Amino acid sequence: FKPEFYAKKCPHGIGELGPLHNLSIDEDVQHYAAIQEYFRNQTRLGIPAILHDEAAHGFMKFQANSFPAPIGLACSWNTSLLEDIYSCAAQEARSRGVSHVLSPVVDVARELRWGRVDETLGEDPFLVGHLGAAMVRGLQGSSDGQIATDHVAATLKHFVGYAGTLGGRNRSPYPNGMRHLLDTEIPPFRHVIKTAHPASVMAAFNEVDGLPCHINPWLLQTVLRQRLGFNGLLVGDYQGLNLVRWYQKIGASDAEVRKMA
């Protein structure tokens, strides 16, 4: 662990630290503890880092339990089963020092060329919403938005239309129209937000009506914040803002794109 490396990566308390892979459980705990010690005791305000990881079908780390993919779990129609599985994943994550996971996926999967169908809970918005809510309850250890001390913050993703992109391609536009978006893609998010209160929501890579979700005020403010009542942490997908500039060709500079977001 090199404090000077972290000081360079997060010069003003905001930055990105990539995870280390294939560490044993003990090594993971020691590494995360060292990171938190640095931020608590060697930075100006002493604010701990939010350490996140993946939990698509179990905590995605070496020596952690791996369960069936969500598309398989969804075939059970068993909310209690999913709640138990994701509670286990949460406790494994928290035991190593992780407090925030990027799960569950509540995209509605009807475009089978999309390469992440296995991460979804299927094609029916009603089923996706109810199973997604069970996953959030399992991850957070409650249904009221409070995060149990041995559980983690859940992230509802990807808002919105990510599984229905043109040709099933990652980051291509959402082509299915506003009615389909409102009747099919958004209802699972609405149900999970209203009944399970996830701590965070992740924006999707794709664009809706010509504007990328990461910088789309109608989607993120009018729909998500005002209509769905979400008041938690809104996070971007990996490289999401960089892709707005370099892939979707919007913004003259990184600073301008971040201001849009």
Structurally, how many domains does the chain consist of?
Answer: 2
Domain range enclosing 39: 1-49
* Sign of the four-CA dihedral 68, 69, 75, 81: positive
41 and 63 part of one domain: no
Read off the pLDDT band of 86 (50, 70, 90).
Answer: very high
Cα gap 10→20, rounded to integer Å: 17
Give the catalytic positions in this structure.
Answer: 237
Q: Which of 69, 154, 81 is nearest to 117 (CA)?
A: 69
Residues 89 and 132 in one domain: yes
In this structure, the answer to whether residues 85 and 20 fall within a common structural domain is: no
Q: 19 and 7, same structural domain?
A: yes
Residue 67 has pLDDT above 70, yes or no: yes
What is the reported pTM?
0.95
Do 90 and 13 fall into the same domain? no
pLDDT in tens, 108-163: 999 999 999 999 999 999 999 999 999 999 999 999 999 999 999 999 999 999 99
**Closest Cα partner for 89 from 71, 119, 67?**
67
- For residue 207, give the H/E element and its range: strand 207-208
Q: Does residue 129 or residue 18 have the better pLDDT?
A: 129
Q: Which structure tokens are listed for 110?
A: 């009807």
Distance CA 40, CA 217 (A): 34
CA distances from 22 to 19, 60, 61, 62, 63 (A): 10, 10, 7, 5, 9
Same domain, 26 and 55: no
- Dump pLDDT digits (tens) for 40-62: 998 888 989 899 999 999 999 99
Mean pLDDT of 2-28: 80
Q: Are strands 200-203 and 233-235 parallel, antiparallel or unpaired?
A: parallel
Query: Are residues 101 and 93 in contact, defined by beta-carbon separation less than 8 angstroms?
Result: yes
- Domain shared by 45 and 57, yes or no: no
Q: At residue 94, does pLDDT exceed 70? A: yes
| Rounded average pLDDT over 232-260 | 94
Q: Compute the average pLDDT of residues 184-202.
A: 99
The CATH number linked to 118 is 3.20.20.300
The per-residue pLDDT for 12 is 74
The confidence score (pLDDT) of residue 8 equals 83
Question: 25 and 136 share a domain?
Answer: no
H or E stretch at 26: helix 25-41
Confidence of residue 216 (pLDDT cuts 50, 70, 90): very high
The answer, yes or no, to whether residue 164 has pLDDT greater than 80, is yes
67, 124: one domain:
yes
Q: Is residue 42 domain-shared with residue 63, that is, in the same domain?
A: no
pLDDT of residue 19: 67
Q: Inform me whether the pLDDT recorded for 169 exceeds 80.
A: yes
79 shares its domain with 37: no
Please give the mean pLDDT across all residues of the chain. 94
Q: Do 81 and 37 belong to one domain?
A: no
